[in-house]
Each structure stands twice: as structure tokens, then as C-alpha cells.
Amino acid sequence: MGLLGTTTAQQYYQLGETFNNTLGNLSTVISSNIAALTVANPPSGESEFRIYLNDEEQFLSNYTYDSPNITFTHFNRQGVAATVSATPLGIADEIVVKLISRLHGDYRYVTLKDIVNNFMIGYVGDGKLINSAKRSDILFHAKRCIAEFNYDIGRVEKIQEVEVPPSLSIPMPQDYINYVKICWIDTAGIEHLLYPADYTSKPSESVLQDSNYEYLFTTEQDLITSNPSLTSERFNDFQVGSLSGSVPNDDYYYWNDNNTNKATNFGTRYGIEPKYSNDNGVFVIDELNGKITFDSNISGKLITLQYISDGLGTDSEMKIHKFAEEGMYKSLLHGILSTRAGVPEYVVQRYKREKRAAMRNAKLRLSNIKLAEMTQIMKGKNKWIK
């Protein structure tokens, strides 16, 4: 469980647990010089929450946390040094314990910790489907299931906002599977779609050669390579306009203009291909080194990277939607039983079928089809094209 329950609207919308005299839960603080609070649903560690006294954040050195108790030795007040020992709080004082990673709508998800605990309670033990199982085994299969569900069923998409450095390369996110779209952002906050540069690539390494073009090797007979490659360096200086086929507005004699002599004649005045007429910019992905590189037009610009996440980026992200919870348990059953010796094949196949059925149900539940939006799109098909 997180720090905050959803027993009151205030706890949910403020993402915090409040202590004051109006609520009647501040008596232990008022009655003692060494103040203490007891939180209703304690977090796992001090890094998960922040504490505020009358909207002023309290230093970590001012208190200690021993779940579920927070004990103060000092209070950080405006105009008062934090070294002053904790004094009884006044009638108007208010303390708020607020989670850092808590988001609105978290109730829709089941955390990895709860998934493992629920599975062990419901499926593991004497007289149950699995007689015994190590927690580490369940955790291993659960992480695999989360990654599979996030790509196939839940399809968790994240959007990172990044400013492109002079090197023109940014690292892939740690939970990156594939990109959805990459755009640069103008001053109005509008996205401009970038396209992959399929007319070039980003070599993961460059093989070193001697003057006779023979490959060079180390004393251990390993091939000598370098990074970055010449192809990458040349692409960093590339101007996307050199491939777009565009000509100046006042150039009526386009056949005499250098813009008609584009790289390999891609995108001429007539018969231009749309993918080569893009003037927003392009990018190249280096899968091996985990880099996304842009052309020189994007240097210093703000971009958004929308990508599919595997759901395993951080501990707080390892969760699954409640609509897919049953599919998760069926997948765990199949994963554990299929790796055990002595389990009859018909049993493994039975849970394989149940797993597929549960995953299909979860996919239907999370399909997120909106009838009103579909109706609006279909109405557009009645328009006349003049």
C-alpha cells in the first residue's frame, strides 16, 4: 500500500496526509517537546515522501522515520533556525506528509509487490494449485509478464521532453522498447513531426584500416574499431533542406538553381516523394549503442520523444492495470508450471489456454474504444471532396 489511502477525498486530491487540531490528530505533537506522528498507510522509506510544516518543507535531518512513526527533533520555521529543538505546535499549525511519486488515478493499478503477495496467498500452499514456490521465482516471472503486458495489452506510452545538445544525440530511455513519434516543439508548444532518415544509417562502430585498406587488429587479434563513425560525423553537418527539393520563393528558373541537384536527386520539382519533402528534420537510431541522433537543424531545439515503455523503468512503475490482473495471475501460473519437472503436459497446456483467454479479455477491457469519437470520424466520411 502507498502512504495515502483513499478513505477521504482530501487524502486523494491533495496526495497528502494532513495533521492539525481541526482534524484532532495532532495531540501527540502538542503534548511533547519531542514530536511524533503516526501515518495511516506508511511508505517503505524516507525517500518516498516529503514533510511540510505550514507549507515549509522540513529537512531530513529534522526528523527520523521508523514505520509508521515520524519523530521530529527540530522544526524548520520561517525566521527561526532549524537547530532550535522541537517545541509544542500552536493551535494554527499544520503538518502535511506528502508522497513524491504518488499520482492521481493510481487506484487503477496493482503494484508488483501486491501482485506477488496476492499470488502467493491465492495460488501457493497446501491444497492449492502450486504446493510451494520461492518468492524470487514468482518475482522473475512477474517482471517478464509486466513487460509483455505493457507492450501487448496495456501499451504504456511515455513522453520525454529533451533539449537536443550540440552532439545531436540523446540516449534511449532505460525502459525504451520502440518509438511512437519524435517531434520538435516550437515557441507556441506545437509539435512538428520528425521522420526517420531511411536514406542513411548510424554505424555502431567504425573499422580502422591502414594505408592499404587492410583491417587493423590488436595484439590479441581483436578487430580495432572506433566510435563515432565518419558517417555519423557527416550526418551531423547534414542540412535537411539539401534533400527536401524546396526552392526559394523568388526562384522561377528552378532548373538553373542548385536546389534541383539534391542528394541522389531525391525530391525534384515534380514527382517529389512526401518523405523527402519534410522540412522539420530527421533522426537516425543507433540500436546497439542506444542513441538517437538528429540532423544539424535540430541542435538546441526542444523535442518530445513518445515511446513504448516496458513498464520496468523504476520500482514505482512496476504495476499493472486492474483489468489485466486476472491475466497476470494466469500468466504466472503458466510460467511457473511450464518450468517445473514432473508437471503433466496437459496441465501446462490447460493453463496456457487459460492464460491466452485471460490476456484476450484484458486486451478487450483496455481497448479504450470511444463510441462518440468513432461516430465523429465516420461523419467525416460523408463530406464531399471538391
pLDDT in tens, 134-189: 888 888 888 888 888 877 776 777 899 999 998 888 999 888 888 999 999 988 88
Q: How far is CA 270 from the centre of its chain?
A: 43
Average pLDDT, rounded, for the chain:
76
Residue ranges of domains in the chain: 9-99, 106-155+312-361, 157-240+278-309
10 touches 22 (CB < 8 A): no
Among 1, 359, 318, smallest CA distance to 142 is for: 318
- The CA-atom distances, in angstroms, between 228 and each of 155, 209, 281, 297 are 33, 15, 21, 20
303 touches 181 (CB < 8 A): no
Written as one string, the DSSP assignment of 148-192 is HHHHHTS--EEEEEEEPPTT-EEEPPTTEEEEEEEEEE-TT--EE
- Residue holding cell 518523405? 275
Three cell numbers, residue 112: 508488483
62 pLDDT higher than 90: no
- Which residues fall within 8 angstroms of residue 71, CB to CB, at 6 or more apart? 34, 35, 36, 63, 64, 65
329 pLDDT higher than 50: yes
- Residue holding cell 467525416? 380
What is the C-alpha end-to-end distance of the chain, expressed in Å?
59
Alpha-carbon gap, residue 149 to 321, rounded angstroms:
10
280 touches 184 (CB < 8 A): yes
Q: Residue 257: its pLDDT value, please?
A: 45
**Nearest-10 crossing angle of helices 112-123, 135-152:** 120
Higher pLDDT, 312 or 259: 312
72 beta partners: 63
82 pLDDT higher than 60: no
53 touches 26 (CB < 8 A): no
- Which residues fall within 8 angstroms of residue 217, CB to CB, at 6 or more apart? 223, 224
Instruction: Check residue 279 and report its DSSP letter.
Output: -
Alpha-carbon gap, residue 338 to 134, rounded angstroms:
15
285 touches 294 (CB < 8 A): no
Higher pLDDT, 374 or 170: 170
Among 149, 237, 240, 235, smallest CA distance to 195 is for: 240
What does residue 363 show for φ and ψ, rounded to 5 degrees?
-65, -40
Q: Residue 383: its pLDDT value, please?
A: 66
pTM of the model: 0.59
Mean pLDDT of 109-135: 85
303 touches 185 (CB < 8 A): yes
pLDDT in tens, 92-101: 778 888 877 6
Bridge pairing between strands 191-196 and 282-286: parallel
Among 79, 86, 291, smallest CA distance to 171 is for: 291
pLDDT in tens, 198-218: 777 777 778 888 888 888 888
Alpha-carbon gap, residue 192 to 240, rounded angstroms:
14
Query: No. of H helices and E strands in the chain?
Result: 9, 18
Q: Residue 108: its pLDDT value, please?
A: 78
268 touches 262 (CB < 8 A): yes
Band (25; pLDDT cuts 50, 70, 90): low
Alpha-carbon gap, residue 95 to 163, rounded angstroms:
38
- Residue holding cell 528534420? 281
Mean pLDDT of 250-260: 44
Among 383, 358, 376, smallest CA distance to 149 is for: 358
Percent helix / strand / coil, the chain, rounded to 5? 30, 25, 45
Q: How far is CA 289 from the centre of its chain?
A: 19
What does residue 96 show for φ and ψ, rounded to 5 degrees?
-120, 125
Band (323; pLDDT cuts 50, 70, 90): confident
17 beta partners: 97
Q: How far is CA 33 from the centre of its chain?
A: 44
